[in-house]
Amino acid sequence: MGQVNFYHLTRSSTEEAVLLLAGRALAQGWRIMARAPDPATLERLDGWLWLHPKDDFLPHGLAGGPHDADQPFLLGQGAPVNGARGILHLGALAVDPDEARRMDRIWLLFDAADEVQLAAARGQWKAVTAAGLAAEYWSEETGRWQKKAESPGTTAPGAT
């Protein structure tokens, strides 16, 4: 299916955006994974998710435990061993086109204040669209998420 959605974070923190996107995906019955460039980012996200949202709990776990395959939302750096249908890439990690084609969705979150992440996201947009994947660019500069650009790609997008 292979759709890649780019989320340009200008107002929300990475954690807030993950909570929003993961919550929507889990509500649809999807299993998902979050990847980050370093374990410290995943550990920080794990700690934050244990406290948010304040009135609920988003079921998740850090990779490396005995129950990774059972986690609806796995935080890790390796393969999605939990049967994920979508992967959240934090910090503009590179998208593997072959993996993206096997997923319903890849979300690529990048911080507007980080020039390295901005440059990486621009490069990823070019690589993803050149690989024939559907792509959407979302920005929250107006205070709410709005789709600013899209490329239909040559593969059919999944649901959401």
Rounded Cα distance, 115 and 65, in Å: 34
Give the model's pLDDT for residue 156.
47
Whether 40 has a pLDDT exceeding 60, the answer reads yes
Tell me the per-residue pLDDT of 97-110, one tens digit each, with 9 for 90 and over.
999 999 999 999 99
Average predicted confidence (pLDDT) for the chain: 93
Rounded Cα distance, 148 and 99, in Å: 25
Coil vs helix vs strand at 20: helix
Report the amino acid identity of residue 106. I
Whether 160 has a pLDDT exceeding 80, the answer reads no
Give the model's pLDDT for residue 157.
44
CB atoms within 10 A of CB 44: 14
Maximum Cα interatomic distance, the chain, rounded to a whole number of Å: 43
Whether 80 has a pLDDT exceeding 90, the answer reads yes
Share of the chain above pLDDT 70, in %: 96
Instruction: Quickly state the pLDDT bin for 158 (edges 50, 70, 90).
Output: very low
Question: Is the overall model pTM greater than 0.85, yes or no?
Answer: yes
Handedness of CA 116, 113, 91, 127 (dihedral sign): negative
**DSSP element (H, E) containing 14:** helix 14-27
Paired residues of 106 in beta bridges: 4, 87
| Domains of the chain and CATH, by start | 3-151 (3.40.50.10110)
- Mean per-residue pLDDT, 46-57: 93
Coil vs helix vs strand at 103: coil
